[in-house]
Amino acid sequence: MGQSAEQDQVAPRPRFPALDPEPPRRSRRGAALALTVTLAVAGGVSYAVLSPAGSPKQPAATPVVSRTSDFTGIVLAETSSGVLSLTDLRTGKEDLLKGLGPVGGMPAVSADDKLVLDPGTGKVFSLANKLHPATVPNQLSFSANITAGYPWSDHDSYVLLLPPSGSFGYAGNGDATLQSVQTGATIDLGVAADAAGDPQQAGAFFSVPASGQPPATSDQPGPDSQVVLADAGAARQVLATAAALTHVLGFAPGTAVTLGPAVNPQGTMVAVEVAANNRAQSPSGVVVLGRSGQVLGTTAIAGGGSTAISWSADGGSLAFISGADLVQWKIGANAMTRTRLPKGFFFPDECVWSPDSSAVLCGAFRILPRNQSLGTGTESWVVIASGRAHLLGEHGLVLAWLSGQLKS
């Protein structure tokens, strides 16, 4: 039975999105950290690998080049030209969805893989028929790129909006609002720093900026004071304070932190990325909470930057980047599978799980010579399965890994 984050823990255990004009898929306040980590990678800095307490570090497997036929399912991606595509991993067949038009932002796929929101244009696409994706009518009306990293709420009937701030267009402190897909009606949820929509009800899990602090910007996010669950028509529920989260992770008392929530597809758990607001302090970790605030798991993170948190389709496991490894963590189990990522690649924060929750697919950019910019060109795909990393070539920005197959 889990404990509340407000309760003392007897055994405390002592971030890296692409530098790209579009906001990342998860936490939207990592612009400054993204720049720092990107420059470090380009300069050849190596990252230490920190094993979670109680979990011995496993030997890193050598990345191998695989045929796409080694895997099954359909991957939804965005090509370098801004067109959505579907790729059948078994056959390698690719369908460009040119009829949907180019997208204007980082598309967000709903937890049930049935809808895609383009925050740049306000368009919603249906994947109910994977062979014939289509634009669906909606009453959304918002400025470009002001959605949260995970915007869907209440069984895909609402979209969660956060105002942008800073030159990178990342969300800052402001009112979080829900907008009905069918009617356009809005619901104000209060001031939020970072947020993820509640899949179960009209609401969101979000971090609250600390009072008396200057507004967050893309250059200086946070600090935050607590993580709450705010559903329409219900009292706001404090799941954990920043002090409680830093305590269970073993941070020094008084450490100022930013808090980034990532909710599982079922809305039963939320993973909170806890990162020191002062980069000189540098500790970061993840605390998994239940809907009532009980602590279900904690782990430290190596390497700084964003952890690229991704939930499995069954809602029971997390994938995240820690140092030079991709970690797969089944919540409630002590064991973590750690797979060494290929050298010579920069891993932004979009990783998606296979439909059967057995493998993870991440996008990666090759590290280019110093006289070229990072994050340009077509994105390579790397599948992490059975403790090994498999390179699948260049196919575009990863959005979702769907079940099924394309017709030949």
If pLDDT is split at 50, 70 and 90, which confidence band does 142 have? confident
Dihedral class, residue 23 (left if φ above 0, else alpha if ψ from -120 to 50, else beta): beta
- How many C-beta atoms lie closer than 10 Å to residue 212's C-beta? 6
- CA gyration radius, the chain: 20
Kindly report, residue by residue over 10-28, the tens digit of the pLDDT. Answer: 232 222 222 233 333 334 3
Examine the pLDDT at 36 and tell me if it is beyond 50: no
User: What homologous superfamily is domain 3-402 in, according to CATH?
Assistant: YVTN repeat-like/Quinoprotein amine dehydrogenase (2.130.10.10)
- Return the pLDDT at 378: 62
pLDDT-wise least confident of 9-13, 246-250, 288-292 = 9-13
b/e sequence 277-295, b meaning 16+ C-beta within 10 Å: beeeeebbbbbbbbbebbb
pLDDT-wise least confident of 335-339, 369-373, 393-397 = 369-373
pLDDT-wise least confident of 60-74, 157-171, 221-235 = 157-171
Most confident of 87-91, 187-191, 198-202: 198-202
Examine the pLDDT at 4 and tell me if it is beyond 90: no
Residue 59 CB contacts under 8 Å (≥ 6 apart), including other chains = none
Report the number of secondary-structure helices (H) and strands (E) in the chain: 2, 33
* Segment 233-249 mean pLDDT: 95
Examine the pLDDT at 408 and tell me if it is beyond 90: no
φ, ψ at 300 (rounded to 5°): -85, 160
Distances in Å between the Cα of 294 and the Cα atoms of 4, 17, 249, 283, 354 are: 4, 29, 14, 22, 28
**SS3 (DSSP) at 375:** coil
- Return the pLDDT at 267: 96
Considering only CA atoms, which of 260, 243, 258, 268 is closest in space to residue 195? Answer: 260
- Return the pLDDT at 115: 95
If pLDDT is split at 50, 70 and 90, which confidence band does 171 have? very low
Quote the mean pLDDT of the chain: 78
In the chain, % of residues over pLDDT 70: 74
- Return the pLDDT at 124: 95
Examine the pLDDT at 353 and tell me if it is beyond 90: yes
